[in-house]
Structure 1
Amino acid sequence: MIAITSLGIYRYYREQCETLAEKIEYYQMETIVKEQFLSSQTYELISSLMVHEYWVDDIYQSINREPLIITSSSRHDEVLDITFVGTSQSFLSWYNMVQQKLKYCHIQIMSVDTKGNSIFFTCKVTPLVT
């Protein structure tokens, strides 16, 4: 009786170990496939197309995170001309954030003007992927 019970327990744990080993093997294969895809040219192409499509929206959303006010903006071809008012600290914070998180956009500072207590920043923003 003890031998039969022990054999049953042994089979149960053996099946559990085999199931766990299969799950680990599947997870490892899935991880390898994901890593291969994320480093593939296909992924880079898909990412660049998605980034290229929404880069203007990303710029506007990034400006909304800082205390900056857009006074004018226009888009022609692949260039976004934008002028906004704010403090130099808020501008630099926005600029650094775009450089770090929106690496697919290039900001060129065209002018910095002061009128009274206000500072106006005029920039050209272009996508790096065209």
Structure 2
Amino acid sequence: MNTGIHAGAAPKAVGHYPHARRVGNLLFLSGIGPRDPATDAIPGNRYDAEGRLIAYDIKAQTHAVLANVRAVLEASGARWEDLVDVTVYLTDMARDFTAYNAVWAEYFPDPALAPCRTTLGITALPTPIAIELKCIARLED
């Protein structure tokens, strides 16, 4: 089975790709950001009068991105517990790692049951977001 999945409860992809693709028992999620699925707004972002980003809330964005990941998992027939590997991209590792890590711990309180995780600091993402997740989950037969 090799099926592309578009989740109605997740924000639209910013490019020409599916939210996820199932290959056998594995589910590969495309990069998922924190945009609101209904409004496309980015939680916690503040803009000046000219529309330039002046501040953001990494905790709000982390909660939102995890909710969007959950929406894609559910649309794919997967559960939160099926996540096995997550790559996290942060645009400001020095400023945001501790706060994002605290939110992560709310969703995965037992490290032994949490998915494997790699966190990378990067210079930019395609929209004015501070965090994006790339996930792999295992599906039941």
Query: Structures share a fold, TM > 0.5?
Result: no
Task: Considering Cα pairs closer than 8 Å and 6+ residues apart, tell me whether 1 or 2 has the greater RCO.
Answer: 2
Q: TM-score range by the shorter chain?
A: 0.3 to 0.5
TM-score for the superposition, normalised by structure 2: 0.34
Larger radius of gyration: 1
